[in-house]
């Protein structure tokens, strides 16, 4: 059985290097190969460059090839890696087409610059990928520096149809990697007597049901809670060598990712990388 291939969307900037570091950690942990893809944006064939500067294609290609050569120096020995230079009018579409051509099992991107103290700020390319990719999309926080291979996989547990599919994907992932699997549920509590207890009880029942289904697998669970998402995430004892896997919103089209509102709020405060898994087309809304 051939190894899975993980595609790193690269552009030579800081967020690209964050993505590459995450791609290396994922590939080493899940025994995958890396494809570093740089998409050069084509000009509009119906437009005219202004001011007219002549054909800059050779210069752009030379710079892109230098960035890809630099990327190779950031990949440790022993990991299979390839580089690809593509052209497309849309960077995101170019990445998606490359993923299809290369039969990539995952796309890895970095957070956009800016955003103050936030580790994750989603740029336009990442936004497009997170809402249309047929394969999981992993997103690295700014200044991401993993300490070797990943050791723990958190799986966000939801209550909507299709949530168990994310758990199954997580189980397959830890089987390949030997990572520790930890189911995670985040509770935003409003302080009302009775309501908070009911919410926690429902989550615990869901956890127990899931744990019973996974009785042949080593798995633990954790509940993060607080008055808001920031507090709930802050209450979790995040392992530094970890990543969070989460399912797509119910608004996702068949077999595509869609970053839901809850996941988007989580990203504002999450200290570890996130992997968004596509929604299976057989799952109803």
Q: What are phi and psi of 113, to 5 degrees?
A: -75, 165
Measure the CA–CA gap between 52 and 98, rounded to whole angstroms. 31
In sequence order, what are the residues at sequence separation of 6 or more whose Cβ sits closer than 8 angstroms to the Cβ of residue 56? none
Structure confidence at residue 220 (pLDDT): 84
Contact 244, 138 (CB under 8 A): no
238: which 2 tokens?
A: 């995040």
Residue 90 pLDDT class (50, 70, 90 cuts)? very high
DSSP per-residue letters across 267-283: HTT-SS-EEEEPBPTTS
Q: What are phi and psi of 233, to 5 degrees?
A: -70, -40
Measure the CA–CA gap between 224 and 233, rounded to whole angstroms. 6
Architecture category of domain 5-140 in CATH: 3-Layer(aba) Sandwich (3.40)
Domain boundaries, given as residue ranges, for the chain:
5-140, 152-277
Task: Please check the confidence at residue 46 and state whether its pLDDT lies above 50.
Answer: no
Measure the CA–CA gap between 22 and 140, rounded to whole angstroms. 6
- Top-confidence residue, 278 or 96: 96
Measure the CA–CA gap between 80 and 24, rounded to whole angstroms. 10
Structure confidence at residue 178 (pLDDT): 87
Nearest to 67 by CA among 55, 81, 79, 85: 85
* Exposure letters 175-210 (e unless 16+ CB within 10 A, then b): eebebbbbbbbbbbbeeeeeeeeebeeebeebbeeb
Question: Would you tell me which CATH number, out of the four given (1.10.238.10, 3.40.50.620, 3.90.1010.10, 1.10.287.1260), belongs to the domain 152-277?
Answer: 3.40.50.620
| Class of residue 100 by CB neighbours under 10 A (exposed 0-12, middle 13-18, buried 19+) | exposed
The pLDDT of 172-180, averaged and rounded, is 86
- Fold: same for 5-140 and 152-277: yes
pLDDT digits (tens, 9 = 90+) for 114-142: 555 666 778 888 888 988 899 999 999 98
E strand segments, 58-212: 81-88, 106-110, 137-140, 152-156, 180-188
Task: Please check the confidence at residue 42 and state whether its pLDDT lies above 90.
Answer: no
């Amino acid at each position: 059985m051939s190894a899975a291939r993980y595609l790193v969307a690269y552009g030579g900037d800081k967020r690209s290097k964050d993505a590459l570091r995450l791609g290396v950690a994922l590939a080493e942990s899940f025994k995958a190969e890396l494809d570093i893809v740089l998409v050069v944006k084509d000009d509009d064939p119906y437009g005219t460059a202004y001011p007219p500067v002549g054909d800059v294609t050779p210069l752009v290609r030379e710079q892109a090839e230098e960035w890809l050569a630099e990327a190779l120096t950031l990949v440790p020995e022993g990991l299979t890696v390839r580089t690809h230079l593509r052209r497309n009018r849309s960077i995101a579409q170019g990445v998606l087409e490359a993923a299809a051509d290369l039969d990539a099992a995952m796309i890895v991107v970095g957070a956009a610059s800016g955003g103050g103290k936030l580790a994750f700020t989603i740029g336009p390319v990442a936004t497009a990928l997170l809402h249309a990719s047929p394969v999981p999309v992993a997103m690295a926080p700014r200044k991401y520096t993993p300490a070797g291979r990943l050791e723990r996989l958190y799986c966000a547990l939801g209550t909507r149809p299709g949530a168990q599919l994310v758990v199954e994907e997580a189980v397959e992932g830890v089987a390949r990697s030997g990572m520790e699997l930890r189911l995670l549920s985040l509770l935003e509590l409003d302080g009302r007597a009775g309501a908070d207890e009911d919410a926690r009880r429902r989550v615990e029942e869901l956890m127990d049901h899931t744990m019973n289904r996974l009785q042949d697998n080593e798995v633990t669970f954790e509940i993060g809670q607080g008055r808001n998402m920031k507090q709930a995430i802050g209450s979790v004892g995040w392992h530094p060598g970890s990543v969070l896997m989460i399912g797509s919103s119910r608004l996702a089209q068949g077999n595509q990712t869609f970053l839901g509102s809850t996941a988007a709020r989580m990203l504002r405060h999450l200290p570890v990388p996130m992997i968004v898994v596509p929604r299976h087309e057989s799952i109803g809304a």
